[in-house]
Amino acid sequence: MILVLALAAALWFAGELTGAPRRLRWGMIGALWLAVIGLHLLLPEDHALRQATGGDARIWAVLGGMVALVMLYQAGLRRLKARVKAVAQPEAGNRISPVEAERYARHILLREIGGAGQQRLRAAKVLVVGAGGLGAPALLYLAGAGVGTLGVIDDDLVEGSNLQRQIIHRDDGIGTPKVQSAERALRALNPFIAVRPYQRRLTEEIAADLFADYDLILDGTDNFDTRDLVNRTCVALGKPLISGAITQWEGQLSLFDPARGGPCLACLFPVRPAPGLVPSCAEAGVAAPLPGVVGSMMALEAVKHLTGAGQGLRGRLVLFDGLYGENRTIEVKRRAGCAVCGGPHLG
């Protein structure tokens, strides 16, 4: 056995002295390994050459397997380092520092995101309407994911009753504007992103100008008037909209994008609900983790949409029942004659 190992070392150093590439040197050692395995399989057990090379082919098979595993591990590390380096040196205007590349390494490892997808997240601008139950987890996960610019609009102040579920806020922030509380949390989580807080109510006068500067809109509000305004503005500007809703133990979300063939929110809910038919969380109650579940799903859909990963929820509605642990997805289509997206300008 020592003879074979000595011969392998000699081949390696001889190749190094002659300037042979590493791949060729490993090839020569691999050929030697195959030759030894062949000798053990062909020669009788008591043959002198077989005894001189270890006496058992299984020893060499195990040794070869261990070397192969080490080489595969090293190859994987080299590939990961190359991908991280590619993210650290992206196109001009979308520079990601080495520290950021390390921060997002788990994204880069994902085949569906990789370095290119992380660069797209870095360049993206996402506006979240509402810094409450759904907006809180969505904002935190989008910040953690490395979305380059996050806008948040809300005119409310933090109240003690919010802290049961709105995880972006803290007790010492009670009485402060929600957007300021959210901004502090997002900057503390990820100092490499830009945060734009808008402490105001979303109105017809400002919606179009505000939305125009963003690539994707997330709506986590809890009243029909604001949802309708967000939907109409997104349709008019051709902006994709991820909308979520929760009550008690149940939630739902979808990606509304009629500019690319999907329905809009009004296709599903063309008629305003009667007063009292859809009570707010303050009226009906809500389980504390529920907005975290649905808000995180909204953030996940945003990451998928921005990176092109997987299958998004355009044309599909997810219904989540937390009380019974059930999750359903149903197909939704554009409604003929929809007052919002059914016009000829969308085909």
What number of residues does the chain have? 347
- Give the span between the Cα atoms of 253 and 80, in whole angstroms: 34
Q: Where are the domains of the chain?
A: 2-88, 124-346
CB 78 within 8 A of CB 22: no
Tens digits of per-residue pLDDT, 20-38? 676 666 666 667 666 666 6
SS3 of residue 305 by DSSP: helix
Whole-number Cα distances in Å, 278 to 25, 270, 272, 326, 335:
72, 15, 10, 21, 22
Rounded to an integer, the average pLDDT of 101-124 is: 93
Whole-number Cα distances in Å, 97 to 63, 87, 94, 109:
41, 8, 10, 17
CA nearest neighbour of 103 among 198, 230, 234, 193? 193
pLDDT > 60? residue 12: no
pLDDT > 50? residue 40: yes
CB 145 within 8 A of CB 107: yes
Identity of the residue numbered 308: G
CA nearest neighbour of 320 among 268, 248, 267? 248
- Give the span between the Cα atoms of 17 and 166, in whole angstroms: 66
Strand partners, 329: 318
pLDDT > 70? residue 81: no
As its CATH architecture, domain 124-346 has: 3-Layer(aba) Sandwich (3.40)
Residue 216: which pLDDT band, with cuts at 50, 70 and 90? Answer: very high
